Amino acid sequence: MKVLAIIPAYNEEASLPVVLREMSNHAGGVDCLVINDGSKDRTAETARAVGVGVVSHPVNLGAGAAAQTGFRYALRRGYDIVIQIDADGQHDPRDIPSLLRALENEGVDAAIGSRFLEDRGYRPTRMRSVGMSFFNGLATILTGQRVTDSTSCFRALKRPVFKFFAEMDYPTDFQDADLRVLMKRAGFRVQEVAVSMRPRLGGRSFINGIVPAYYVFKVSLSILVTLLREAPRLRRE
């Protein structure tokens, strides 16, 4: 099984070395690819310095687009599984084995890390918590499956799933509840796996200022049109 960890990064020179070191310590046998989304700092050089593959967008395209570049890379290079992990250190590479174990189950196409499946001490701010509950509830109703962490991008995907993401009109910014609804409509089976969440090591979240209002609007709209569109039909390889 060829496994690739994709690490979308935008101005993450501070946290990236730590994440990459943890990856080699706790997820040996997994290739790493940093997708540098037009960073203005030394993100790409930092990754190259430790011998990790880097794909650099010539301009900033957004977190979703960076993930999609990773899916396209994995598709071309013949990987079987893609692990997506944040570059800011919030996701703990020690959780990768449990994500991969969930995929060993024949019926599971995607394993998604959840901060809320078990209480591991993560406490979001009040505003954030309200928004998360709203989308978790919505995703739970629409997928008919308990969704506890729809915003999580810490996940392991089997080839049919990341092939689908690589070829579809993947969101360029937020990757949220709309994707959970879409995956359900495409017929993929998703399993949540309990993971720990840590405070970010550096850099800043792109969800701040006016963005939360736009975020709620955009994801809601995206869910609505996902439901209005015909269910996606998957092309076999």
Partner 1 sequence: MNIRVQILAVMIGLGILVTILELIRKRKLREEYSVLWFATAIGILVLSLWFPLLEWLTALLGVVWPATTLFLFGLIFLVLISLHFSIKVSRLTDQVKDLAQEAALLSEEVSRFRAQSAVPEARPDTSSSNS
Nearer to partner 1, 36 or 114 (CB): 36
Q: How far is the CB of 102 from partner 1 (least distance, A)?
A: 29
Q: How far is the CB of 173 from partner 1 (least distance, A)?
A: 11
Rg (Cα) of the chain, in Å, rounded? 17
Q: Which residues bind partner 1 (CB under 8 A)?
A: 35-36, 40, 44, 53-59, 61, 65, 68-69, 72-73, 76, 169, 172
Nearer to partner 1, 74 or 161 (CB): 74
Q: How far is the CB of 58 from partner 1 (least distance, A)?
A: 6
Structure tokens at 102: 């969930």
Nearer to partner 1, 59 or 127 (CB): 59
Nearer to partner 1, 60 or 220 (CB): 60
Nearer to partner 1, 73 or 116 (CB): 73
Q: How far is the CB of 47 from partner 1 (least distance, A)?
A: 11
Helix or strand (DSSP H, E) at 156: strand 155-158
Structure tokens at 193: 């796996």
Q: Which residues contact 196 (CB under 8 A, 6 or more apart)?
A: 92, 94, 95, 115, 120, 121, 122
Report the greatest alpha carbon distance in the chain: 47
Q: How far is the CB of 206 from partner 1 (least distance, A)?
A: 17
Dihedral pair phi/psi, residue 107, rounded to 5°: -85, 0
Task: Give counts: helices (H), strands (E), the chain.
Answer: 8, 7
d(CA 164, CA 118): 30
